[in-house]
Chain A
């Protein structure tokens, strides 16, 4: 059993339901050939660095899975036959890559704070600093007056 990562670019003209169907087909192929999916990233539309078949955007879908090496060939044959898939890549990951991916997932979870929350935190810190300064100034004034 090896650890793999596949990345596909799907045509942007498809609807979200059609993309889901296509991804489910890929998942089925992996599961039928005695593989198991470790993590399924959300598909997202991204700008391509160059035009492919006159498309400038595409759905990126990343799948991480464990499977025997005999699975890779039927998977790539499916990619080649499917019209909606523009580009694909499958990579075998070593143990360092696996730890890297896990750490990246964790860091993404931590940094899911919305921008307004982060701003709020900054404001709070700023106010605290100012309050401290003001309080110290008041204390000094009081001491002087005494």
Chain B
């Protein structure tokens, strides 16, 4: 395999790179000024399957919205809209 790659490089053949989707803040896209703690489906997008809050380097949130979303998730946990721990957390509907 290594030989083939080198041959391509010698012959100036371009190897196509994997396309990576550009991350963006999902809250900024809809211009959200207030994030509701009752909207479970929106908030589950920022959690992993175990129910932990994901850091913005995975989700692409801006700094301001990351803080607000984290606060909303914590509120919805206290009111039992979202679990503290989960085995396979997925958005309903």
A interface residues with partner B (beta carbon < 8 Å): 7, 9, 48-50, 52, 58, 87, 89, 91, 93-94, 96-97, 100, 104
A94 touches B79 (CB 8 A): no
- Known contacts A50-B84, A96-B34; A91/B79 CB under 8 A: no
B34 touches A9 (CB 8 A): no
Additional pairs, 16, CB under 8 Å, beyond known A97-B33, A100-B34: A9-B79, A49-B80, A49-B81, A49-B82, A49-B83, A50-B80, A50-B84, A50-B85, A52-B80, A58-B80, A87-B79, A87-B80, A89-B78, A89-B79, A94-B34, A100-B36
Interface residues of B in 37-55 (CB under 8 A from A): 37-38
Interface magnitude class on chain B: 10 to 19
Q: Within 8 Å CB of B78, what residues of A? A: 87, 89
Q: Within 8 Å CB of A96, what residues of B? A: 33-34
A-B contact number at CB 8 A: 34
**A94 vs B37: C-alpha distance in the bound complex, in angstroms?**
14
**A100 vs B34: C-alpha distance in the bound complex, in angstroms?**
7
B79 touches A7 (CB 8 A): yes
B64 to chain A, nearest CB (A): 13
**A91 vs B79: C-alpha distance in the bound complex, in angstroms?**
12
Report the nearest A residue to B85, measured CB to CB. Answer: A50
Among A7, A49, A96, max chain B CB count under 10 A is at A49
Q: Does B75 contact A (CB under 8 A)?
A: yes
- Known contacts A94-B34, A96-B33, A100-B36; A89/B75 CB under 8 A: yes
